[in-house]
């Protein structure tokens, strides 16, 4: 038999499903699933409450009492010889102290029987004057103090307050993102390790920033083959600062660098360093760099660097905690070995406020500008974002890119999404060109206010106002062509708009072109005065922009006779107690008087010119305004037919709204 059992064991290896003749005994209890079992303090409290309810309603025997009058009668009759007094009951005993001693000598069962049969219980009645009665009858009586329940006293004195303190403590730590980590967790950094080797983003996912990508190729090459640089004695930049307007793809570029190099990627915001406790930011900087060295080669990306990297110049309302964090960051980067394989990337859209110590060589050695894309860049970005979007054959991405001058990558992604939503709203299966046009119009001019009711007088003012903008743009040399005129209310208070769209990007403007922009802005108010012989508040935004252009021509661009080729600089002083601060001029009162006179002269001359132009084109003004009142919208083709001429060369993106 032992040999047979050994043979069965050899034929049945562990883990096989083969029947080996061995009877398996089922376990007495099923295995405990730890995922299904979760202890909670609330379960314990709920069970305790349930036991208390069951005890009170099912296992508690109610105490038998007699009327107080009957209790007094038994005292008078001499049946009660001893009375026990408490705040809840009067208990009358039919035996005195001597008889109680005799009862104590009997057995337990006999004592219990006598105790039940010789006890009378009643509830005290206020002002019953029972003590004089007991004295007159010479009845023994005594008072009994009620002993408190020690368990209940302990529970409410210690357990409940302790539980409340623990609950508040855990709640506060959960709100601060440190639940279960302890007090010392404040010093731990909050960096997110996005990927161990692959972020899922490469340079193929980035468009419209070719120059920035070229600057970052060296960083990727160093992380892949560092020996190529160390062999010749070269050093890769310790830090690379990505600078550019919001939405241009700075974070996307950083992810692409990590994805191309296939290394770990730490992402952390500058605001994550600063906490309510002093010294936490510096501790988190130390912890971040320690983890980065352990994960090398890797990339550490600090977004919104200006949150902790602002200049340490002494200004009112400075934050010592932020300065300590910045000091620790400077120390860590200065003592950082570039050969360790850790690259620091940072992004900001406010480089002018950064501390100079951050930007010196040895820290952020290289600054890469990530600017808004040009025409070809916008088209490339659109091609990336339309992946997965069903497009109609009529969609012309070149035209969409031409209509979105000055848009960043995030704006273009938003336009593609808005166009898809508009197509679904219209019940189409594919996104058409008109969806893109409506999406651009929605982003630029705001949401269409279909239910806003405007009286007939205001509609006429708006129609002539917008027609004045359009006609001035059409007959002003080098002005952008009119794409659309509308008197449909949009956005925040805009009752109408005139849209001018470019076909090329502009980086310089001549004095003549700046004056043309002022003419177009003043065209709306000039049309109102020409037709109605009065002006309205609808041109407030137009004259604000026109005044700003005229002032900058004199103060910033040196386009004046007296102060030609000079900059008359003025800057805003520091804020104090919520005050925005006064402008600090670097020129005299006489120069300021000259600036004001020149601005008034420029605006006055251009306004007279525009009024003369619209007076010559009054017939076209009346015709187009009438069509606007009827159709509410005039597109570029209809406008060109009405004026009988082409609308000038296409440049820059400009919109004048009422």
pLDDT recorded at residue 621: 93
Q: Which residue has the higher pLDDT, 573 or 80?
A: 80
Torsion of CA 512, 515, 517, 518, to 10 degrees: 180
Q: Looking at residues 554-573, what average pLDDT do you find?
A: 82
Neighbouring residues of 146: CB distance < 8 A, sequence distance ≥ 6: 86, 87, 88
Highest mean pLDDT (candidates 23-27, 94-98, 266-270): 266-270
Highest mean pLDDT (candidates 26-40, 179-193, 217-231, 442-456): 217-231
Helices assigned H by DSSP within 299-369 = 320-334, 356-359
pLDDT recorded at residue 578: 42
pLDDT recorded at residue 526: 95
pLDDT digits (tens, 9 = 90+) for 395-443: 999 889 888 888 899 999 999 999 999 999 999 999 999 999 889 888 8
Q: Residue 655 pLDDT > 50, yes or no?
A: no
Determine contact, residues 285/189, Cβ cutoff 8 Å.
yes
pLDDT digits (tens, 9 = 90+) for 259-303: 888 888 888 888 777 765 566 778 888 888 888 888 878 888 888
pLDDT recorded at residue 436: 92
pLDDT digits (tens, 9 = 90+) for 71-87: 888 888 888 888 888 87
User: Which range, of 190-194, 490-494, 623-627, 637-641, averages the lowest pLDDT?
Assistant: 190-194
Q: Residue 31 pLDDT > 60, yes or no?
A: no
pLDDT recorded at residue 625: 92
Query: pTM of the predicted model, to two decimals?
Result: 0.64
Confidence of residue 153 (pLDDT cuts 50, 70, 90): low
Q: How far apart are CA 366 and CA 344, in angstroms?
A: 11
pLDDT recorded at residue 380: 92
- Helix H or strand E segment including 54: helix 41-58
Q: Which residue has the higher pLDDT, 142 or 241?
A: 241
Q: Residue 498 pLDDT > 60, yes or no?
A: yes
Q: Residue 616 pLDDT > 90, yes or no?
A: yes
CATH for 68-143? 3.30.720.210
pLDDT recorded at residue 115: 55
Q: Residue 480 pLDDT > 70, yes or no?
A: yes
pLDDT recorded at residue 605: 95
* CATH fold for domain 456-657: Methane Monooxygenase Hydroxylase; Chain G, domain 1 (1.20.58)
* Sign of the torsion angle spanned by Cα atoms 312, 314, 318, 324: positive
Q: Residue 317 pLDDT > 70, yes or no?
A: no
Determine contact, residues 173/337, Cβ cutoff 8 Å.
no
Q: Looking at residues 586-592, what average pLDDT do you find?
A: 86
pLDDT digits (tens, 9 = 90+) for 107-149: 555 555 555 556 788 888 876 678 888 878 888 877 876 666 6
User: Which range, of 186-190, 282-286, 329-333, averages the lowest pLDDT?
Assistant: 186-190
- Helix H or strand E segment including 63: none
Q: Give residue for tokens 């550490």.
A: 300
pLDDT recorded at residue 209: 84
- Could you give the angle at the alpha carbon of 344 between the alpha carbons of 342 and 349, nearest 5°? 165
pLDDT digits (tens, 9 = 90+) for 458-472: 889 999 999 999 999
Residues assigned a catalytic role: 466
Q: If you average pLDDT over every residue of the chain, what do you get?
A: 77
Q: Which residue has the higher pLDDT, 56 or 508?
A: 508
Q: Residue 576 pLDDT > 80, yes or no?
A: no
Q: How far apart are CA 243 and CA 349, in angstroms?
A: 6
pLDDT recorded at residue 517: 94
Q: How far apart are CA 370 and CA 250, in angstroms?
A: 7
Beta bridge mates, 93: 82, 119
Q: Which residue has the higher pLDDT, 106 or 252?
A: 252
CATH number of this structure's domain 375-445, picked from the four choices 1.10.1780.10, 1.10.8.60, 1.10.443.10, 1.10.3210.50: 1.10.8.60
Q: Residue 195 pLDDT > 60, yes or no?
A: no
Buried b (16+ CB within 10 A) or exposed e, 436-463: bbbbbbbbbbbeebeeeebeeeebbbbb
pLDDT digits (tens, 9 = 90+) for 335-393: 655 556 788 899 998 888 888 888 888 888 888 899 889 888 999 999 999 998 999 98
User: Which range, of 162-166, 210-214, 549-553, averages the lowest pLDDT?
Assistant: 162-166
Report how far Cα 561 is from the mean position of its chain's Cα atoms.
50
Percent of the chain with pLDDT over 90: 22
Percent of the chain with pLDDT over 70: 72
Q: Looking at residues 75-101, what average pLDDT do you find?
A: 79
- Helix H or strand E segment including 122: strand 119-122
Beta bridge mates, 498: 485, 656
Of the candidates 97, 77, 85, which has an alpha carbon nearest to the alpha carbon of residue 141?
A: 85
Confidence of residue 450 (pLDDT cuts 50, 70, 90): low
pLDDT recorded at residue 454: 76
- CATH class (in words) of the domain with range 185-369: alpha beta
Of the candidates 170, 74, 73, 88, which has an alpha carbon nearest to the alpha carbon of residue 124?
A: 88
Torsion of CA 226, 228, 231, 234, to 10 degrees: -70
Q: How far apart are CA 647 and CA 415, in angstroms?
A: 26
């Amino acid at each position: 038999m032992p040999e047979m059992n050994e043979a069965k064991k050899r034929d049945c290896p562990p883990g096989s499903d083969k029947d080996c003749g061995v009877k398996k005994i089922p376990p007495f209890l099923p295995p405990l699933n730890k995922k299904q079992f979760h202890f909670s303090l609330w379960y314990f409290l709920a069970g305790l409450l349930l036991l208390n309810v069951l005890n009170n309603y099912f296992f508690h025997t109610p105490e038998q009492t007699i009327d107080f009058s009957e209790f007094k009668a038994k005292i008078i009759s001499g049946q009660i010889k001893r009375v026990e007094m408490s705040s809840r009951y009067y208990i009358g005993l039919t035996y005195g102290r001597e008889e109680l001693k005799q009862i104590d000598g009997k057995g337990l069962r006999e004592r219990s029987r006598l105790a039940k049969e010789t006890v009378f219980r009643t509830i005290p009645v206020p002002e019953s004057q029972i003590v004089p009665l007991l004295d007159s009858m010479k009845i023994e009586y005594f008072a009994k103090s009620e002993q408190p329940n020690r368990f209940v006293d302990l529970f409410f004195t210690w357990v409940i307050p302790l539980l409340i303190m623990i609950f508040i403590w855990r709640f506060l730590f959960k709100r601060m993102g440190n639940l279960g980590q302890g007090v010392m967790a404040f010093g731990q950094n909050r960096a997110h390790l996005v990927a161990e080797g692959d972020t899922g983003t490469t340079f193929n996912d980035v468009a419209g920033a070719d120059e920035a990508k070229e600057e970052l190729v060296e960083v990727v090459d160093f992380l892949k083959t560092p020996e190529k640089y160390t062999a010749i004695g070269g050093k890769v930049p310790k830090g690379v600062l990505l600078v550019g307007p919001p939405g241009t793809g700075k974070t996307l570029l950083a992810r692409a660098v990590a994805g191309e190099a296939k290394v770990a990627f730490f992402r952390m915001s500058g605001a994550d360093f600063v906490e309510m406790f002093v010294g936490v930011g510096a501790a988190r900087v130390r912890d971040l760099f320690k983890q980065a060295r352990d994960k090398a080669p890797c990339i550490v990306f600090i977004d919104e660097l200006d949150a902790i990297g602002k200049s340490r110049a002494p200004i009112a309302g400075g934050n010592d905690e932020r300065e300590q964090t910045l000091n620790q960051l400077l120390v860590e980067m200065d003592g950082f070995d570039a050969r360790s394989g850790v690259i620091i990337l940072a992004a900001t859209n406010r480089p002018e406020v950064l501390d100079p110590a951050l930007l010196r060589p040895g820290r952020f050695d290289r600054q890469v500008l990530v600017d808004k894309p040009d025409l070809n860049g916008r088209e490339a970005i659109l091609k990336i974002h339309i992946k997965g979007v069903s497009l109609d054959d009529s969609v012309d991405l070149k035209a969409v890119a031409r209509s979105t001058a000055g848009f960043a990558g995030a704006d273009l992604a938003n336009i593609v999404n808005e166009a898809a939503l508009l197509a679904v709203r219209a019940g189409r299966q594919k996104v058409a060109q008109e969806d893109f046009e409506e999406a651009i119009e929605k982003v630029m001019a705001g949401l269409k206010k279909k239910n806003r009711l405007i009286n007939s007088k205001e509609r006429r003012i708006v129609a002539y106002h917008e027609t004045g903008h359009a006609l001035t743009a059409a007959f002003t040399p080098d002005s952008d062509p009119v794409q659309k005129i509308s008197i449909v209310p949009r956005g925040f208070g805009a009752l109408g708009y005139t849209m001018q769209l470019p076909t090329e990007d502009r980086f310089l403007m001549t004095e003549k072109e700046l004056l043309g922009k002022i003419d177009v802005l003043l065209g709306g108010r000039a049309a109102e005065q020409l037709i109605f012989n009065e002006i309205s508040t609808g041109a407030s935004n137009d004259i604000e922009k026109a005044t700003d252009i005229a002032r900058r021509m004199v103060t910033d661009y040196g386009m004046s006779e007296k102060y030609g080729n000079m900059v008359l600089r003025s800057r805003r002083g520091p804020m104090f107690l919520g005050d925005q601060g006064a402008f600090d001029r670097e020129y005299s009162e006489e120069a300021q008087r000259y600036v004001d006179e020149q601005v008034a002269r420029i605006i006055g001359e251009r306004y007279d010119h525009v009024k003369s132009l619209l007076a010559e084109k009054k017939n076209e003004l009346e015709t187009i305004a009438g069509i606007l009142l009827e159709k509410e919208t005039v597109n570029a083709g209809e406008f060109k037919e009405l004026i009988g001429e082409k609308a000038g060369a296409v440049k820059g993106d400009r919109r004048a709204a009422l």
